[in-house]
């Protein structure tokens, strides 16, 4: 919100971190720390914070120039009040949408790491671990591989649909179109 040198330093750090591929970073961290569920979470925290940081900054910089923020400044609202009452509520939906769209990527990355043997280890369970243990039996018992793969696919699809729904619901133009279509359908006698 304030811009300045701190903003520049953080954004340059984000640029550096975003230049490193997620899987390579994950393999490096898991090689150093060892494979475990806790370390997978650490990998995702290290690897994904910059995306949330960049989106947050973009939304805040966009909101900062909006008319309602300028009006709040004009009537004498403090920066804390503007951030708390105007910027933060408008920031929640894009971050939740991004989180919902980021979950499938994390699921696929965890599954890939577990499949390669760098992720979650037995006796803990993981879909990637199930795929890895079932690959030797794919010709005789195909369902051992297909069912975890299907679970990964359906879960990723579900989170993507939730993310798209959140984006559509939070967009005022989309919401207006949906309300207009619903009203026209009710007038035509169509029920849902």
Domain with 80 in it: 5-187
On whether residue 101 sits in a domain, the answer given is yes
On whether residue 192 sits in a domain, the answer given is no
On whether residue 103 sits in a domain, the answer given is yes
Domain count, the chain: 1
Q: How far apart are CA 28 and CA 58, in angstroms?
A: 30
CATH number at 126 reads: 1.10.3720.10
On whether residue 45 sits in a domain, the answer given is yes
Per-position pLDDT tens, the chain of length 192: 777 898 889 999 898 888 888 888 888 888 898 888 888 888 888 888 888 999 999 999 999 888 989 999 999 989 899 988 889 888 888 898 888 889 998 899 889 888 988 888 888 888 999 999 999 998 999 999 999 999 999 999 999 998 888 877 777 677 777 778 888 888 887 765
Q: For residue 79, give the nearest of 131, 1, 4, 153 by alpha carbon.
A: 1
On whether residue 75 sits in a domain, the answer given is yes
């Amino acid at each position: 919100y304030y811009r300045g040198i701190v903003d520049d330093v953080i954004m340059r750090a984000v640029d550096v971190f975003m230049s490193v591929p997620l899987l390579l970073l994950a393999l490096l961290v898991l090689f150093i720390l060892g494979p475990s569920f806790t370390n997978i979470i650490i990998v995702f925290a290290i690897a994904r914070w910059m995306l949330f940081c960049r989106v947050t900054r973009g939304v805040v910089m966009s909101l900062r120039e909006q008319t309602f923020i300028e009006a709040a400044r004009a009537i004498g609202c403090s920066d804390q009040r503007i951030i708390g009452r105007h910027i933060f509520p408008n920031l929640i939906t894009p971050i939740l949408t991004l989180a919902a769209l980021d979950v499938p990527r994390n699921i696929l990355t965890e599954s890939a790491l577990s499949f390669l043997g760098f992720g979650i280890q037995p006796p803990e369970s993981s879909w990637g671990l199930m795929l890895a243990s079932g690959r030797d039996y794919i010709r005789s018992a195909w369902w051992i591989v297909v069912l975890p793969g299907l679970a990964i696919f359906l879960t990723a699809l579900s989170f993507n649909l939730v993310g798209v729904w959140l984006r559509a619901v939070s967009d005022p133009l989309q919401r207006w179109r949906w309300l207009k279509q619903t009203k026209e359908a009710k007038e035509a006698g169509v029920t849902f």
